[in-house]
Chains A and B, each alone.
Chain A
Amino acid sequence: MLKVRIIPTLLWKNLGLVKGVGFDSWRRVGTIMPAVKVYNTRQVDELIVVDISATSEERLPDFAEVREFSAECFVPLTVGGGIRELAEIKELLRAGADKVSINSAAYERPTLIEQAAERFGAQCVVASIDASRNPDGSYRCLSRSGSADTGREPGEWAEELERRGAGEILITSVERDGTMTGYDLELIRLVADRVKIPVIASGGAGNYGHLHEALTVGGAAAVAAASIFHFTEQTPLEAKKFLAAQGIPVRNVRVAP
């Protein structure tokens, strides 16, 4: 049976590992390399590493840094931030990334998704959507780390990304990000119902019950989380034990005798 993935997300800014709240108030929580090593030793299901300042600073991904931390990573690694051209995707895959996450560039040039899927295969294209809730309960997509309104609606945009060849959708709630108050289940369900490709829920996980909700109520195929692992004693392994006890298929859990 296909196992549900629990994916720690590492956000990276100016060579530091950071975590914010609502895409703001960034706190430095360490450096990237030791975090990658620890998660690798613990055999997490997958890792997502995003350089959150590359796009806003108009610079390319830091390939040398990716080469360094990917050398210590023997689980699937998705790298995002600053991708604008196919050349950058090729270079990231050469540097040791297994998949790339594309966000802002997809709004500016949606054909990038098609070209990337054609050239490197749909399976390595993770389309990332940052969504914000409107006062009337509808949602809108933001780009450039939540700073620009794109005029797109997440359900419709997810459908288009799938049609263009994305292999997975990473959906993040801007309001819930870093709050540890739970995923925006409505948002996740909205997106999961619109596409056939796997949807990764992101933004808001604060306890193991939240992960469970994103999978069952939200319909996500995988859950990404950051603060819960940075700022609490909770771990991916304990999360899996919790989910296994609720009947969710997970990997690598030895049930205690």
Chain B
Amino acid sequence: MSVLIIDYGMGNLGSVRRAFEECGADVFISEDPGECRHASHLVLPGVGAFPDGMEALTRGGWLPALKQATAEEKLPLLGICLGMQLLADHGTEGGARAGLGLIPGTVLRLVPDSPQTRIPHVGWNEVHHDGSNPLLAGIPDRADFYFVHSYHFVPGTADATIATTPYCGSFVSVVGHGSVFGTQFHPEKSSRFGFQLIRNFLAL
């Protein structure tokens, strides 16, 4: 098992690496899309803005590599936070922009549902799920995970929703489509249950 953390200049790579290592993975970080062929699992981390993220992935030559690795070789891929949002068809942060298109969907800004609702959504919040997806195996319904974001993923197909979180009404906090998964929260910063999710992903 060999986990490739995609280095496209965005994100808390150090944190992600340490968490995956702590869960028993062999981890390598690379800027070279050709390295996908040495990986059993791919992780797309991300802290930052959607247009910058897409630009960096495009410039780095990741678009065809990720399409091939996921569509043809069915490698499991986990997008985290911005990394999840980039999996969508379209983003809207700083103007409309095409995403990776690995999971049907659009990324929209959170809309406060009360005057007390603060954006960005920062902190620990519940992840509601029915226990049926292996990515969340062993994680209780409504377990708390750490979030920090202003945008959210709106799946284009209902069956891509794995879990939701009650904020600004309710938004989709875990998505999945084939071998591609995304979490809006940071499993690498979500302590015990975050590690459980990472171990589940490594078992895919």
Contact = CB atoms under 8 A, between A and B. Distances in A.
A173 B148 CA distance: 25
A205 B125 CA distance: 25
A177 interface: no
A5 B122 CA distance: 9
Contact of B144 (A99, A168, A252): A252
Interface in B4-25: 10-15, 18-19, 22
Interface residues of B, number: 38
A2 B14 CA distance: 26
Interface string A230-248: 0000000000000000000
A121 B48 contact: yes
A2 B167 contact: yes
Interface string A67-83: 10011001111000000
Interface string A56-92: 0000000000010011001111000000000000000
Given A122-B120, A198-B120, A99 B148 contact: yes
A251 B147 CA distance: 13
Which 4 A-B residue pairings sit nearest by Cβ, starting from the closest? A96-B14, A123-B148, A121-B48, A3-B124
Interface in A183-240: 196-198, 221-222
A67 B14 CA distance: 8
Contact of B47 (A1, A95, A123, A222): A123
A221 B123 contact: yes
Interface in A89-123: 93-99, 118-123
Interface residues of A, number: 38
A49 interface: no
A74 B18 contact: yes
B192 interface: yes
Interface of B: 10-15, 18-19, 22, 47-49, 52, 82, 112, 118-126, 144, 146, 148-150, 166-167, 186, 188-189, 191-192, 194-195
A118 B49 contact: yes
- The B interface is mostly helix, strand or loop, or mixed, namely mixed
Nearest to A123: B148
A99 B11 CA distance: 10
A251 B192 CA distance: 13
A124 interface: yes
Contacts of B19: 74
B49 A2 contact: no
Contact of B15 (A1, A3, A45, A98): A98
Nearest to B115: A196
B118 A196 contact: yes
B124 A70 contact: no
Max count, chain A CB within 10 A of own CB: residue among B123, B167, B192: B123
Given A98-B47, A123-B149, 10 more contacts: A1-B126, A2-B167, A45-B123, A70-B14, A76-B189, A95-B14, A123-B120, A167-B148, A168-B122, A198-B123
Contacts of B119: 196-197
B13 A75 contact: no
A43 interface: yes
A45 B122 contact: no
Contacts of A118: 49, 52
6 contacts: A74-B188, A74-B191, A93-B14, A119-B52, A123-B47, A221-B122
